[in-house]
Amino acid sequence: MASLQRYTDRRVLITGGGSGIGQATVLRILEEGGRVVAADISEPGLKDTVAKADAYADRLTTVLVDVGDEESVKAAVAEAVRTLGGLDTLVNVAGILRSAHFVETTLADFEKVLRVNLVGTFLVTKEAIPALRQGNGPAVVNFSSTSANFSHPYMSAYAASKGGIQSMTHALAMEFSKDGIRFNSVQPGSISSGMTDGTGESKSSIGPGLPSDTNFALFGKTAPMLPLPNGAIFAQPDAVAAVVAMLGSPDAYFITGTEVRVDGGSHM
């Protein structure tokens, strides 16, 4: 159990809470005493989260949502706010990845990635703003990626969406600074998740879903510098969840409009 209890009496909505980093974030914030609504498009994923959070079941509620659909987002955020009685922290984890050669990327796939990742973050945040304005030390943590600032081959749509999220986070941090709402983002890299093991809807940038003729030499600059157990190339999702928990808590009261890279030194 986490020794910190920064989320006692805090009300938290986490999208993408059914797997990977989103699920790890749900568990971490529950361990720190928070009341959480986990939102995801996958009902089996949410059931798995509930099973893993058994000790904190009285503080966890789930809701199905398609973050790329405005009506679904409106209904899910309203339900979350009703359930929690308000909102103090929003974490926008939900996202997908499509890996392909740029010239073979379809318009449908490019737009789908932007719709879920970038537009989804916009829609959820927009619906949450009224509740956050009334929240206690309100904070939003968005998910950018190391691909927003550094070259990651075969993932142009994903990189574009994450760059957009990062820029939007800066703009929102300024716009809502006098409302006291903090906006920050994390930039995960080399993290095990549904995207990297192929179990989520999305597939990996360095794993399932890559082109059959992938040139793996192009990934040389994305390898983490810090050693991982048993020669692993991906860190566990809790590495990111710990940073998210800090940024969404009162401990980060003087941090806004920035991003924290969590990549084991891949891009030093």
Q: How many CA atoms lie within 13 A of 243 on its CB side?
A: 21
Q: How many Å apart are CA 102 and CA 156, to the nearest integer?
A: 7
Alpha helices in the chain (DSSP H): 20-31, 43-52, 70-84, 107-113, 120-133, 156-175, 194-197, 238-247
Catalytic residue among 7, 56, 154, 158: 158
- Whether 158 sits among the annotated catalytic residues: the reply is yes
* C-alpha dist (Å) from residue 142 to 54, 209, 213: 26, 25, 33
Which 8-state DSSP code applies to residue 119? I
Q: How many Å apart are CA 68 and CA 31, to the nearest integer?
A: 29
Contact at 8 Å (CB) between 20 and 194? yes
φ, ψ of residue 187 in degrees (nearest 5) = -120, 85
* C-alpha dist (Å) from residue 53 to 37, 61, 83, 151, 229: 12, 11, 18, 37, 25
The candidate with the shortest Cα–Cα distance to 248, out of 174, 119, 143, is 143
Collapsing DSSP to helix, strand or coil, 139 comes out as strand
What is the token pair recorded at 73? 């987002």
What is the token pair recorded at 132? 């956050």
Angle, helices 43-52/20-31, rounded to nearest 10 degrees: 30
What is Dmax (Cα atoms) for the chain? 52
Q: Which residues are catalytic?
A: 158
